[in-house]
A and B are shown apart, each in its own frame.
Chain A
Amino acid sequence: MRFTLRVWRQDNQFDKGRLVMYVVDDISPDMSFLEMLDVLNERLISEGEEPVAFDHDCREGICGMCGLMINGNAHGPDKLTTTCQLHMRSFDPNEPITIEPWRARPFPVIKDLVVDRSAFDRIIESGGYISAPTGSAPDAHAVPVPKDDADNAFEAAACIGCGACVAACPNGSGMLFTAAKTTHLGLLPQGQPERYSRALDMVGTHDDLGFGGCTNSGECTAVCPKGIPLEAIGRLNRDVLKAATRSPAKR
């Protein structure tokens, strides 16, 4: 198959950037989207043009490193699929494919399709953990956890931190990411002691970093490759509200 691509090229953070048209040949339907970009890059190198920079690593949908806006959809047309797990059988060769980086204020473009998502790390650092120093743990069976709670916590913990939720949100909000973590930890008995301070601290950091507010448009959950439910944001909001009504000493 032959595809026409319009790819965002930007030399560095300060460059204005532009869409550049390329045609790629000999694409098989079994190729992954990133393998199609590999084919393009091999050709660009042979023609003396710098290859397109894009982030990727595990190529099995779990590390969260890849992430492209494909025809305006975060991670492309397939539901519950990261860019690396997307295959060319999902595309019509007659339609051009536009490939852009995530666009959000807290995610500046580094080069071409590569963005800086370190703001997500800052959110986790501000409270997305349980304080359990190594060696201090009681036996794993000391506290039983109801299976439903464990399963729901797992569902939220499946977030890969790719940033699609932010890229898809009209407000550039990172609430689904933040809520996935507070939900994961807040549903487990081990996460209770820091539950409310965690919610307040993480949301505070989220706002300080320039992410937008959540208006429940639901675009985030629609593109989330791991299917993190919007309900997580509801849980986070309840925790923040509860935290706000508590006296500071009890947070």
Chain B
Amino acid sequence: MYTEGAPICDPKTPDGPLEKRWEQRRFSARLVNPANKRKLTVIVVGTGLAGGSAAATLAELGYNVLSFCYQDSPRRAHSIAAQGGINAAKNYRNDGDSVFRLFYDTIKGGDFRARESNVYRLAEVSVEIIDQCVAQGVPFAREYGGLLDTRSFGGAQVARTFYARGQTGQQLLLGAYQALSRQINAGRVKTHPRTEMLDLIVDNGRARGIVARDLVTGQIDTYTADAVVLATGGYGNTFYLSTNAKGSNATAIWRAHKRGALFANPCYTQIHPTCIPVSGSHQSKLTLMSESLRNDGRVWVPKAPRDSRPPHMIPEDERDYYLERMYPSFGNLVPRDIASRAAKNICDTGHGVGPGGLGVYLDFADAIDRLGKDAVAAKYGNLFEMYQQITGEDPYQVPMRIYPAVHYTMGGLWVDYDLQSTIPGLFVIGEANFSDHGANRLGASALMQGLADGYFVLPNTIGDYLADGPFPPVSPEAIAEVEQDVVDQIVRILQVDGDRSPDDIHRELGQLMWDHCGMERSEEGLRKALEAIPALREEFWRRVRVLGTGDGLNQSLEKAGRVADFLELAELMCIDALHRTESCGGHFRAESQTEDGEARRDDQNFSYVAAWEYGPQPVLHREELRFDTVTPSQRSYK
């Protein structure tokens, strides 16, 4: 199924004390003088928090930047949908927070499957992010004294999460988009909206450009540069139903993987505990209800199985507040992987509520009593409205019904400490890389990582690579070959002329993945999936139906290309999940659990990053994780 390759020995992490490493790397990284920066071009694909902030910052530094996104405007990247907040170790509350505590919470939350150095740097830089965003005019929530308000999130016992009502991602993204707009106006960034990267150009061993399709005219164009940055987000849509945007896709990272970039920990997917349950087979996507709601909402189910009474008819002593019961010290604020699995287990034993018994209550009655309806509305108003629009029920009156859904992917392209992939000149930032969250991401840390990578990390590290540039022109043969591959694939999709729509096949893939590579994985299930996926892929190439042509806007064609890539990536996810016989974070193997059903990690055998090389059979390269500062322990939130 796979073969073993050489281990990865050098993730380029500086030595020395943890708290000095980033400073040391910034000093050792070579600089590019301003006159030379003008001669260097960087391609940034994706305009979310990572891509938008990187493109803006690189342009401020003086590089020429080409920015790409498939949406009609950079402002619409899916970071915009992040609701709850952004973590930062400001300790404005004097509640015992520190850079070290944020580092520790994050590495523990990730179940000790991330690099210490990267996570420490993230915590360190978090402080600057808030300053930067405030300077840009991000309207964070404030106290009456005019200072910033914070709240707490899962996996933390301090209130370090800064927020802008339930629209933090939107406000941070607009900040980055506006910074980007300023650089567009200054002529340093050229944007290409409605343009989708379809392949990577590698010449002389260096990433030198991309081939992209103009989604409006259908034209295939090549763009070359001295370095390429992928900030194209995660691959949660492999599952079809997820909280990702409909257009979110894995094509950019998958094609880069096929050109030589290693793909790390593909099985680490995050199932978010608080989403609105599926209402029917028509469902096209799932909507998250921010984790911040667990600050004030209490999760419960009826104590009696299959209790069909409406929630207000169930007296207090017949309710099971199972998170508070099982995890008294963290209660409703346990990390996401734990909350999700607890919801699944309680529903599997017949205690679930709502259609199909696939739901648990998230109840605000206590909070409304304690704080008043207005205070609750001020904190969560837009989330309550959204819930009501979708379900037709009023959460001020009736408890919300929630159920876990695919939300985030911790895995991604492998990168070293500089955020460079195994292809020199290809940098990967934000959710698209694997670097900071280990096997489980804590709430409000995605925004932190995206902006840390884009504003502060990449702009410092990429200079060290670009100091060797400008590179000679890309060979026409290298370009022609990649262009031809892209054109061939489009022609091939259009020629199938079968009888199943891309969405129809995608749904089937999603169901397979949810059943066998979802919240709980077993050897038996994964083997089933590994038989079914290649068969489905074969069926795709025999039966997919895309009407129209490639010359112009053709949304079916876009979808089909993305589904073709999901069908390949899904297989690697299952292989990775099968090979990792331990449970850790979001990856729960049924065979590896403690007596009370908690995940059992196996540090003896699996304390490594699994980085996969593309080939007829994937090749596994291990990067052993080194813990100099913390001692991995069995996580306990009890």
Q: A residues engaging B (CB < 8 A)?
A: 12, 28, 30-32, 34-35, 38-39, 41-42, 45-46, 48-51, 53, 55-65, 78, 80-81, 85-87, 89, 110-111, 114, 116-118, 120-121, 124-141, 144-147, 150-151, 153-154, 157-158, 160-161, 184-185, 188, 190-191
User: B503 near A: Cβ within 8 Å?
Assistant: yes
User: B555 near A: Cβ within 8 Å?
Assistant: yes
Contact call A51/B137, Cβ cutoff below 8 A: no
What's the nearest-Cβ distance from chain A to residue B305, in Å? 26
Minimum CB distance partner of B502 in chain A: A45
A62→B75 CA distance, assembly (Å): 11
Contact call A57/B284, Cβ cutoff below 8 A: no
CB within 8 Å for A129 and B170 given contacts A28-B280, A45-B501, A50-B547: no
B136 in complex: contacting residue of A59, A62, A126, A129, CB < 8 Å? A129
A237→B164 CA distance, assembly (Å): 27
Taken residue by residue from 595 to 632, chain B's Cβ proximity to chain A (1 for < 8 Å, 0 otherwise) reads as: 00000000000000000000000000000000000000
Q: Which of B332-382 contact A (CB under 8 A)?
A: none
Minimum CB distance partner of B145 in chain A: A144
CB within 8 Å for A60 and B148 given contacts A138-B135, A191-B137: no
Contact call A129/B73, Cβ cutoff below 8 A: no
User: B227 near A: Cβ within 8 Å?
Assistant: no
Contacts of B499 in A (CB 8 A): 46
Contacts of B164 in A (CB 8 A): 154, 157
A34→B456 CA distance, assembly (Å): 39
Q: Which of B143, B147, B247, B284 has the most CB of A within 10 A?
A: B284
Contacts of B81 in A (CB 8 A): 58, 60, 62-63
Contact call B73/A31, Cβ cutoff below 8 A: no
User: B18 near A: Cβ within 8 Å?
Assistant: no
Q: Which of A134, A145, A184 has the most CB of B within 10 A?
A: A134
B73 in complex: contacting residue of A35, A51, A117, A191, CB < 8 Å? A117
CB within 8 Å for A154 and B552 given contacts A35-B282, A129-B178, A146-B146: no
Contact call B555/A51, Cβ cutoff below 8 A: yes
Contact call A38/B178, Cβ cutoff below 8 A: no
A48→B553 CA distance, assembly (Å): 17
Contact call B178/A141, Cβ cutoff below 8 A: no
A184 in complex: contacting residue of B130, B137, B556, CB < 8 Å? B137
Taken residue by residue from 137 to 163, chain B's Cβ proximity to chain A (1 for < 8 Å, 0 otherwise) reads as: 101111111111000000000000000
A79→B90 CA distance, assembly (Å): 39
A12→B218 CA distance, assembly (Å): 12
User: B520 near A: Cβ within 8 Å?
Assistant: no
Minimum CB distance partner of B378 in chain A: A151
Contacts of A157 in B (CB 8 A): 139, 164, 171, 174
Q: In the complex, which range does the number of interface residues on chain B fall in?
A: 35 or more
Q: Which of A51, A78, A129 has the most CB of B within 10 A?
A: A129
Contact call A124/B142, Cβ cutoff below 8 A: no
Contact call A51/B78, Cβ cutoff below 8 A: no
Contact call A63/B137, Cβ cutoff below 8 A: no
Contact call A147/B140, Cβ cutoff below 8 A: no
A239→B459 CA distance, assembly (Å): 36
Contact call B131/A35, Cβ cutoff below 8 A: no
A111→B548 CA distance, assembly (Å): 13
A164→B282 CA distance, assembly (Å): 27
Contact call A57/B179, Cβ cutoff below 8 A: no
Minimum CB distance partner of B74 in chain A: A121
Contact call A144/B193, Cβ cutoff below 8 A: no
Contacts of B633 in A (CB 8 A): none
Contacts of A34 in B (CB 8 A): 284
A158 in complex: contacting residue of B167, B169, B184, B548, CB < 8 Å? B167
Taken residue by residue from 54 to 76, chain B's Cβ proximity to chain A (1 for < 8 Å, 0 otherwise) reads as: 00110010000000000111111
A140 in complex: contacting residue of B76, B134, B137, B501, CB < 8 Å? B134
A188→B328 CA distance, assembly (Å): 42
A34→B221 CA distance, assembly (Å): 31
Contacts of B78 in A (CB 8 A): 57-58, 63
Q: Provide a sorted-by-A list of 26 A–B residue pairs whose CB atoms are within 8 angstroms.
A: A28-B282, A34-B284, A42-B503, A46-B545, A50-B547, A53-B555, A57-B76, A58-B76, A62-B80, A63-B76, A63-B81, A85-B386, A87-B390, A120-B73, A121-B74, A124-B75, A129-B178, A134-B53, A139-B131, A140-B133, A154-B164, A154-B171, A158-B167, A161-B73, A185-B137, A190-B136
Contact call B245/A57, Cβ cutoff below 8 A: yes
What's the nearest-Cβ distance from chain B to residue A35, in Å? 5
Q: Which of B266-283 contact A (CB under 8 A)?
A: 279-280, 282-283
A80→B247 CA distance, assembly (Å): 24
A118→B133 CA distance, assembly (Å): 25
A121 in complex: contacting residue of B73, B385, B555, CB < 8 Å? B73
Taken residue by residue from 84 to 112, chain B's Cβ proximity to chain A (1 for < 8 Å, 0 otherwise) reads as: 00000010100000000000000000000
Q: Which of B1-60 contact A (CB under 8 A)?
A: 53, 56-57, 60
Contact call B144/A147, Cβ cutoff below 8 A: yes
Contact call A121/B552, Cβ cutoff below 8 A: no
Contact call B547/A144, Cβ cutoff below 8 A: no
A127→B137 CA distance, assembly (Å): 13
Contacts of A111 in B (CB 8 A): 552-553
Contact call B137/A38, Cβ cutoff below 8 A: no
Contacts of B147 in A (CB 8 A): 141, 144
Minimum CB distance partner of A186 in chain B: B137
Contact call B80/A63, Cβ cutoff below 8 A: yes
What's the nearest-Cβ distance from chain A to residue B135, in Å? 4
Contacts of A138 in B (CB 8 A): 131, 135
Contact call A140/B459, Cβ cutoff below 8 A: no
Contacts of B417 in A (CB 8 A): none
A154→B171 CA distance, assembly (Å): 8
Contact call B503/A38, Cβ cutoff below 8 A: yes
Q: Which 6 A-B pairs have the closest CB atoms?
A: A144-B146, A129-B178, A137-B135, A132-B135, A154-B139, A137-B131
Contacts of B179 in A (CB 8 A): 129, 132, 134
Contact call A48/B167, Cβ cutoff below 8 A: no
A35→B164 CA distance, assembly (Å): 30
Contacts of A80 in B (CB 8 A): 385
A159→B541 CA distance, assembly (Å): 42
Contacts of B131 in A (CB 8 A): 137-140
Contacts of B143 in A (CB 8 A): 147
Contact call A134/B71, Cβ cutoff below 8 A: no
Contact call B141/A53, Cβ cutoff below 8 A: no
User: B434 near A: Cβ within 8 Å?
Assistant: no
Contact call A57/B247, Cβ cutoff below 8 A: yes
Contact call A125/B181, Cβ cutoff below 8 A: yes
Contacts of B287 in A (CB 8 A): 59-60
A67→B200 CA distance, assembly (Å): 33
